[in-house]
A and B are shown apart, each in its own frame.
Chain A
Amino acid sequence: MAGRVQGKVAFITGAARGQGRSHALRLAEEGADVIAVDLCGPIPTIEMYPPATEEDLAETVRQVEALDRRIVATKADVRDRGALEAAVAEGVAQLGRLDIVLANAGVFEIQPALEVGDDAWREMIDINLTGVWNTCRAGLPHLIEAGGGSIVLTSSTAGLKGTPNTVHYTAAKHGVVGIMRTLANEFAAQSIRVNSVHPTGVDTQMIMNPKTWGLFDPENPNPTREGAEPIFRSTNALPVPWVEPRDISNAVLFLVSDEARYITGVTLPVDAGYTVK
């Protein structure tokens, strides 16, 4: 049986691990080839969890190839538009086309607003907002050339609602919605659809770290995943503390498939009811 994105090519940022790897695998399972990029390295002001590595990206490549799909993977920084354009051009040269763009790369840090330094603010906005724009900028000419396509931007529940101690992250994730809405309007006539997804907590290293657990379990000097779980759970309407990367991938897959051929300009929460609560 043909997959739901059979024969399509997807450009995915932040594909070394976490949700980005999950998206690459889920789309490959449904017949897509992948152009993958990731920084595979540290960012000075992101200290609460370890960065992805080149081995992580190599593992994504192995797992996509194990599904008998092709993947062109490059180490690239979403802050570097030239590097992204080169990575997409190389991928399109090898895989023949571009249909799907997933701006997924991002970083997270918890900091009281008045303690966010200039460097921390700049790095967050550069990666989580300008990086998303750079990704669209690199992908759009190829989608226009293909006569249409689908872009999904990974925002967050923090792109729809405010939470304390995340002013730079929340500002960037709200900004992503502005990019989405503008591009949805500007490129609809060319049959390019643009949507955003808004996950609640996802079981990846970004939140599975002692500092994040501590935010949800402030009394505990040695916070743990188990200790934070009940508080995470209490933020959602459904009785789950967080969701799996695959749940976000299934939403992304739906949005980029022909099943959603007339869905554009939409902010889609995948959040266990976090934003309705």
Chain B
Amino acid sequence: MGKLEGKVAFITGAARGQGRSHAVRLAQEGADIVAVDICAQIDSVPYPMATPEDLEQTVREVEALDRRIVASRADVRDLGALERAVADGVAQLGRLDIVLANAGIAPMGADDDPARAFADVVDVNLTGVWNTLRATAPVLVEQGDGGAIVITSSTAGLKGIGGDSPGGQGYTAAKHGVVGLMRSYAMTLGPQGIRVNTVHPTGVNTPMVVNDFMQKWLAEDPTVAGAMTNLMPVEMLEAVDISNAIVWLVSDDARYVTGVTLPVDAGFTAK
């Protein structure tokens, strides 16, 4: 029997990368999934974002595990769209237990319009997380039997990495900012038995970093590349490594873990 039998998880940015991996890992543990993704390009993002076909692939992989999934296109910058996706998912799957605020962008080096890159990354990576919690926390509170929220921050949420481009600065600021959101929600939702934690991955093998633009950016700025070295002898983690930490955090094995910043970073922040 899975660790998450009978639970329902809402996941943002679920079309590919870590979000898809979380959907599949949670489904393997018995959870049903409510998945959203923008499935469209944001202009300041210099690498291709997910497509509708990517989201369909996530649906197929979850259904192949005999779990249910309700997937829709929604932008985390649009609170109303998130609320509708949550309402629709709860109507079809019956409840909500787990929330993974995973969607994010990394418009590093997109400096033709600096203010735009900064505003976009803060909108998606910080305000988008706030919207995700606003769309879901009331449902968990109303349901009355606890819940678990995990926000995907980054090692850039604990350290001053990300480089000196406007997008990189915005990325680091937003990823630090979600730690503040996590801590305040952990306090206010604690009495209701709702746990809130962040995970802080080092580089993960997903299309966000494994693309021509990012590889060029890393190669061109030796200070960034040097700062990206992990303590353990591993260059990049796999998405499933982050999913495994999240499965543990949202399961009853971690029933008294809340307010925690959990690095999954091969020792990056311990250097």
Contact = CB atoms under 8 A, between A and B. Distances in A.
Interface string A22-58: 0000000000000000000000000000000000000
B191 A239 contact: yes
A273 B259 contact: yes
Given A264-B267, A266-B263, A268-B260, 14 more contacts: A189-B232, A236-B190, A251-B257, A263-B245, A265-B231, A268-B262, A269-B257, A269-B259, A270-B257, A272-B258, A273-B258, A276-B183, A276-B187, A276-B259
Interface in B227-248: 230-234, 237, 241, 244-245, 247-248
Interface residues of B, number: 36
Given A184-B267, A184-B270, A262 B190 contact: no
Contact of A262 (B232, B254, B271): B232
B186 interface: yes
A237 B190 contact: yes
The bracket for how many chain A residues form the interface is: 35 or more
Nearest to A277: B187
Interface in A238-263: 238-240, 243, 247, 250-251, 253-254, 259-263
Ranked 3 nearest A-B pairs via Cβ: A265-B270, A276-B259, A237-B190
Interface of B: 183, 186-187, 190-191, 193, 195, 202, 230-234, 237, 241, 244-245, 247-248, 253-260, 262-267, 269-271
A253 B251 CA distance: 13
Contacts of A254: 248, 253-254
Contact of B267 (A185, A237, A273): A185
A181 B265 contact: no
A191 B259 CA distance: 28
A128 B186 CA distance: 30
21 contacts: A188-B266, A188-B267, A189-B233, A191-B232, A193-B267, A239-B190, A254-B248, A259-B244, A259-B247, A261-B241, A262-B232, A262-B266, A265-B269, A266-B262, A270-B254, A272-B190, A273-B190, A273-B195, A273-B259, A276-B183, A276-B260
Interface of A: 181, 184-185, 188-189, 191, 193, 200, 236-240, 243, 247, 250-251, 253-254, 259-266, 268-273, 275-277
A191 B233 contact: yes
A91 B116 CA distance: 62
B140 to A, nearest CB: 14
A200 B259 CA distance: 13
A256 B270 CA distance: 18
B264 A263 contact: yes
Given A262-B241, A263-B245, A275 B259 contact: yes
A251 B270 CA distance: 19
Contacts of B190: 236-239, 272-273, 277
A133 B191 CA distance: 38
